[in-house]
């Protein structure tokens, strides 16, 4: 089976179905060796970038006087046509194709004969594959950036709605201190903002073109890597050809950033799952983001949140897989490096699945501010505020902590609560207005400093995040 539109004979003495490098060989690869080596089934995703990079290379060959303008135009046209056919699903891969780069070059050569055979001068699959992958990842990074930004905006919008909704803040998942729902939602937004910042910084390091590095040592052909870099929209060209073809730190860094991001998403998902647990009843996921049980008719399960939570480890695993491939690998291309793409694709795909689902879930989740406020009546939430009243009155904190703890112990022993304390009891304890202390709104307002949970701080944070996004 060859590309359906195969026109002329392959040139350079190459018969159909032979690998590009067959000249030095007498035997074809063993079928099981070929099965292990072929990567077309996944690296076909690089095809649009392979075409783009090949077209830039053709310009470079033309500029160097190695192609006539007619030949260059014919090559560019043939490359674009192959790209279109791959995109439309019309392209027929040859079972002998090792990878997408070989398939595209073969198809162009099948069509143009000798002119096609001029395409690969001064380049290697070693610089090509890594050029394609940088372009692919930069595009994926921009898409991920877009949906992450949507999620941040959604969190900010929901936080503004709930700037004044008090809720129990927890440590160890147990009542700790009062906060506002807006404050908690923005905690997730700030984490995602750092993910965006990481993506920005990663993109600067990734926007370096390897094209022209060749197999490892550039070429004698007078090509201009900077011009190719500019044509492909890279910020600049490589500084060292061995580094350009050997390192995959841009993939590793993408995977590290993606793993961090997936971790953040899993923690947002965990909060959604927890808050919407009917036993807690602080929120309800929209039906569209829940599923039923095949046996228990009453169930509405938070599968979206659960899967968003459970997808994080595979992204971290992708980082570990690539890091392990690179570990101890001497410089220069090794076929080991072919194992960079599947983890990269999988990590990007995973984020692109999880992020939109969380945007929808956060956008539509119905918070029960009343239930959260009711839960904020739990007295323990005010114990730290109480100790701090004593501190403001001059008591050393350790002493205030001890006195407050003892008060709670005595109340529990006599089955009373702080709400049962009389004005006199409060006063003798050193608190002028005990009732005000137990007011959830006053409690969050009292923590109104920068970065705190008070409603005004929530609005300030939301404004700051909005300004950060607007300035990008
Ligand atoms: N499919 C290969 C990869 O993904 C392309 C580079 C192959 N280079 C080579 N010298 N065999 O890494």
Residues in Cβ contact with 165 at an 8 Å cutoff, skipping those fewer than 6 apart: 180, 181, 182, 367, 369, 372, 373
Is 335 a member of any domain?
yes
Closest CA to 168 of 453, 391, 461: 453
User: Which residues are known catalytic residues?
Assistant: 172, 293
For residues 98 and 48, state if they share a domain.
yes
Is 152 a member of any domain?
yes
Question: For a pLDDT cut of 90, what percent of the chain falls above it?
Answer: 89
Angle between helices 181-206 and 455-470 (to 10 degrees): 20
Q: Tokens standing for 316?
A: 């971290």
Whole-number Å distance between alpha carbons of 65 and 54: 17
For residues 369 and 386, state if they share a domain.
no
Is 263 a member of any domain?
yes
Among 374, 391, 418, residue at a domain's last position: 374
Among 374, 394, 412, residue at a domain's last position: 374
Comparing 9 with 446, the larger pLDDT belongs to 446
Q: What is the DSSP string of 252-307?
A: HHHHHHHHHHHHHHHHHHHHHHHHT-TTT-SEE--GGG-B--SS-TT--B-HHHHH
For residues 269 and 347, state if they share a domain.
yes
> Which residue is listed with tokens 């509405």?
300
For residues 290 and 204, state if they share a domain.
yes
Is 229 a member of any domain?
no
> Which residue is listed with tokens 């997808």?
311
Indicate whether residue 333 lines ligand 1 (CB < 6 A). yes
pLDDT tens for 37-56 read 999 999 999 999 999 999 99
Whole-number Å distance between alpha carbons of 416 and 402: 19
- Grouping H, G, I as helix, E, B as strand and the rest as coil, residue 52 is helix
Binned at pLDDT 50, 70 and 90, residue 5 comes out as: very low
On average, the pLDDT of the chain sits at: 94
Is 343 a member of any domain?
yes
Phi-psi region of 212 (alpha: psi -120 to 50; beta: other; left: phi over 0): left
With b for 16 or more beta-carbon neighbours within 10 A and e for fewer, the 65-100 pattern comes to: ebbeeebbebbbebbebbbebbeeeebebbebbbbb
Q: Whose CA is nearest to atom 2 of ligand 1?
A: 338
First to last CA, the chain: 50
For residues 151 and 267, state if they share a domain.
yes
Among 93, 121, 149, residue at a domain's last position: 121
Where in the sequence is the domain holding 110, given as residue range(s)? Answer: 27-121
Q: Whose CA is nearest to atom 12 of ligand 1?
A: 338
Query: Which regions of 119-249 does DSSP assign to beta strands (E)?
Result: 166-171, 174-180, 208-209, 236-237
Tell me the sheet residues that pair with 180.
166
Is 216 a member of any domain?
no
**Top mutation candidate among 93, 104, 126 for ligand 1, by most atoms within 8 Å of CB:** 126
Is 396 a member of any domain?
yes
For residue 141, pLDDT beyond 50: yes
Is 170 a member of any domain?
no
> Do residues 133 and 159 make contact, with C-beta atoms less than 8 angstroms apart?
no
CATH number of the domain where residue 188 is located: 1.20.200.10
pLDDT tens for 401-445 read 999 999 999 999 999 999 999 999 999 999 988 989 999 999 999
pLDDT tens for 150-188 read 999 999 999 999 999 999 999 999 999 999 999 999 999
For residues 318 and 407, state if they share a domain.
no
Alpha carbon of 113 to ligand 1 centroid (Å): 24
For residues 284 and 400, state if they share a domain.
no
Binned at pLDDT 50, 70 and 90, residue 194 comes out as: very high
Closest CA to 461 of 205, 191, 159, 236: 159
For residues 286 and 149, state if they share a domain.
yes
For residues 250 and 148, state if they share a domain.
yes
For residues 112 and 143, state if they share a domain.
no
CATH number of the domain where residue 66 is located: 1.10.275.10
Tell me the sheet residues that pair with 174.
171
Closest CA to 269 of 357, 209, 340, 337: 357
Whole-number Å distance between alpha carbons of 228 and 210: 9
Alpha carbon of 325 to ligand 1 centroid (Å): 15
Indicate whether residue 102 lines ligand 1 (CB < 6 A). no
For residue 11, pLDDT beyond 70: no
For residues 187 and 292, state if they share a domain.
yes
Report, as an integer, the average pLDDT of 278-295.
Answer: 94
Number of folded domains that form the chain: 3
Indicate whether residue 126 lines ligand 1 (CB < 6 A). yes
For residue 455, pLDDT beyond 80: yes
The closest-lying atom of ligand 1 relative to the alpha carbon of residue 100 is 1
Whole-number Å distance between alpha carbons of 327 and 71: 43
Residues in Cβ contact with 123 at an 8 Å cutoff, skipping those fewer than 6 apart: 57, 211, 212, 214, 219
For residues 263 and 151, state if they share a domain.
yes
């Amino acid at each position: 089976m060859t590309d359906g539109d195969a026109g002329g004979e392959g040139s350079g003495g190459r018969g159909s179905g032979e690998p590009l490098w067959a000249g030095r060989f007498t035997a074809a690869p063993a079928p099981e060796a070929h099965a292990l080596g072929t990567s077309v089934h996944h690296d076909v995703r690089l095809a649009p970038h392979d075409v783009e990079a090949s077209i830039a290379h053709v310009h470079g060959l033309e500029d160097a006087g190695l192609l006539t303008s007619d030949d260059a135009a014919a090559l560019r046209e043939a490359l674009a046509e192959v790209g279109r056919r791959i995109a439309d699903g019309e392209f027929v891969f040859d079972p002998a194709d090792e990878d997408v780069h070989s398939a595209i070059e073969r198809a162009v050569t099948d069509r143009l004969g000798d002119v096609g055979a001029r395409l690969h001068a001064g380049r290697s699959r070693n610089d090509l594959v890594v050029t394609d992958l940088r372009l692919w990842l930069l595009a994926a990074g921009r898409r991920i950036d877009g949906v992450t930004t949507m999620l941040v905006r959604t969190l900010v919008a929901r936080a503004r709605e709930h700037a004044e909704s008090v809720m129990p803040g927890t440590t160890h998942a147990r009542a700790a201190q009062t906060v506002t729902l807006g404050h908690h939602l923005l905690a997730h937004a700030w984490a995602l903002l750092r993910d965006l910042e990481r993506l920005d910084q990663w993109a600067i390091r990734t926007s370096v073109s390897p094209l022209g590095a060749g197999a490892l040592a550039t070429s004698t052909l007078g090509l201009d890597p900077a011009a190719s870099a500019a044509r492909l929209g890279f910020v600049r060209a490589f500084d060292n050809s061995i580094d350009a073809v050997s390192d995959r730190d841009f993939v590793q860094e993408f995977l590290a950033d993606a793993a961090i991001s997936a971790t953040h998403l899993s923690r947002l998902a965990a909060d959604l799952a927890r808050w919407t647990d009917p036993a807690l009843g602080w929120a309800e996921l929209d039906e569209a983001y829940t599923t039923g049980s095949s046996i228990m008719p009453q169930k509405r399960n938070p599968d979206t949140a659960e899967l968003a939570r459970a997808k994080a480890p595979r992204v971290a695993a992708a980082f570990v897989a690539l890091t392990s491939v690179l570990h101890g690998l001497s410089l220069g291309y090794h076929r080991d490096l072919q194992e960079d793409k599947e983890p990269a694709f999988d990590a990007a795909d995973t984020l692109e699945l999880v992020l939109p689902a969380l945007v929808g879930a956060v956008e539509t989740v119905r918070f029960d501010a009343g239930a959260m406020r009711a839960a904020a009546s739990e007295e323990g939430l005010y114990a730290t505020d109480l100790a701090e009243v004593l501190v403001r009155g001059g008591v050393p904190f350790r002493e205030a902590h001890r006195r407050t703890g003892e008060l709670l112990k005595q109340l529990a022993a006599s089955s009373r609560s702080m709400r049962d304390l009389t004005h006199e009891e409060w006063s003798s304890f050193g608190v002028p207005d005990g009732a005000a202390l137990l007011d959830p709104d006053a409690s969050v307002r009292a923590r109104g400093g920068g970065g705190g949970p008070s409603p005004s701080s929530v609005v300030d944070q939301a404004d700051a995040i909005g300004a950060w996004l607007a300035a990008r």
